[in-house]
Structure 1
């Protein structure tokens, strides 16, 4: 049973909305569904079709409900604010049920708020999740670039020998979870100062390398799902520039496998101010 439904942070099941409305969810269809796209080939002069390979398609989700208000003016104002939630971009649609909190990223197709009377409205929402994956709770981790200076030989000789580790060979790491049933892409940022950073996923062999310097006050934003890499300033993050041409990669852009993985990074230097940040999820399901 669904206990809450939120679009862009607006709770469509709230006992008291920002303008005092009492929202009730009546229907939610398509949330837990999988649509498979298949290309079945008929068997010539035989019964049936050949087995096909299916791929998960976009998911259509519809929801409807009502909202009641003590103040007619509040009802009229929030009706307009509800319709304004139907923006042009992809937005999180979050459901909370007995198993926890789950998120899909959706485009709003229609959002209507019809007047029943001056204190009640009836709303209907239709969205499409182009990405059919359902995500669990968000997670975050960060790590600096650790280094241990080499100490050379010590006499008398001791065993085991410890020569120390060069900065460019010292991986720091963030443990990333995936308790779900399918892989997913994290989002990664590197804050400078750092030169030629390399991010790896040892479990799969994935590797992303940036050639260049991320200066102090700058950060490198790696959107693994869209394969976009932007260099920007913390003081003006919206004015970043694409540096995809300075990036090389191996594998699937750090796709986190089922069971989780470890995101590691190295660089040609190990400034204590440099850091790696990873935004991920506790799991992803199809």
Structure 2
């Protein structure tokens, strides 16, 4: 159910909003559309333009805070805690709107905590500016679902006895992923061996990703469809394993069906390969 109140905000261990001593007074940029990066060009000798697809730039979120202490020393502790949580960053951190089911990744680029001698007994103000290179708004819940590969060879039924927890298994190498957002979601794909030449088809859109490689039992491949990183055992780049002409599957808003296929290894143990799809609901 939609919540009209902004509610609590979490950043690097601090909570702003109801129930905290950091009250949120203003927020800008959360529901705004980021600046559009248009691909338009003039029509020579004609009125108007040729218009191409629209893309957004980065998102900037501005937060206004009121700090509520009990004494000047207590207020100083709040200021120091806020300073510590808003240091320059090497990589984005999650900014979570806990009661809005919204998550965004950003860096604090500006921080203002003015000193006001006339009102500095126990309260003060602060302003933060968070730069979000990735403008998408994500759901708080990371969703996951799994399926074994469809193969001509018979195999043992799911679940596998790995020390991991997966979502519900698909049937006959197919699985359904529901993106409840309004924008395409970029899933993370994990392929666990044993399998040869695994392929993942986004049946809903026709996109198909094929890996020209063999994974033995205990080996896995982690694929990030946003960055297009392909990591063997989650660390070693194997981008060259992606077959030429492959398309990176996205999850359109709504229900998406994915098919997972692979070849069983000769003389294998009969353990089936597993595809795990992980994503968040995504909106701009």
Q: TM over 0.5, yes or no?
A: yes
Instruction: Please show how residues 1-286 of structure 1 align to structure 2 within 5 Å.
Output: 1-8=5-12, 10-13=14-17, 15-16=19-20, 22-34=21-33, 35-38=35-38, 50=49, 52-53=51-52, 54-70=54-70, 72=74, 74-75=77-78, 77-84=80-87, 86-97=88-99, 100-113=100-113, 117=120, 120-136=123-139, 137-145=141-149, 171-232=172-233, 240-248=235-243, 250=245, 252-269=247-264, 271-272=270-271, 274-281=273-280, 283-286=281-284
Structure 1 residue 244: Cα displacement: 0.3
Give the secondary-structure state (helix, strand or coil) at the position aligned to 2:82. helix
- Normalised by the size of structure 2, how large is the TM-score? 0.74
- Normalised by the size of structure 1, how large is the TM-score? 0.73
Root-mean-square deviation (CA, aligned residues, Å) is: 3.2
**Cα distance in 1 between the residues matched to 2:42 and 2:259:** 48
Larger Rg: 1
Instruction: List per-residue Cα deviations over 1:120-145 (Å, max 9, x = no partner).
Output: 45332212222332223431112233
Structure 1 residue 251: Cα displacement: 5.8
Instruction: List per-residue Cα deviations over 1:89-144 (Å, max 9, x = no partner).
Output: 122222245xx412222233223455664854533221222233222343111223
Instruction: State whether residues 201 and 263 of structure 1, in contact with CA within 8 Å, keep that contact through their aligned partners in structure 2.
Output: yes
**Cα distance in 1 between the residues matched to 2:206 and 2:30:** 34
Which 5+ residue runs of structure 2 have no aligned equivalent? 155-170
Aligned length: 251
Instruction: List per-residue Cα deviations over 1:154-191 (Å, max 9, x = no partner).
Output: xxxxxxxxxxxxxxxx9523321123332121111122
Which 5+ residue runs of structure 1 have no aligned equivalent? 17-21, 151-169
- Of 216-225 and 71-80, more deviation after overlay is shown by 71-80
Give the secondary-structure state (helix, strand or coil) at the position aligned to 2:81. helix
**Cα distance in 2 between the residues matched to 1:38 and 1:148:** 48
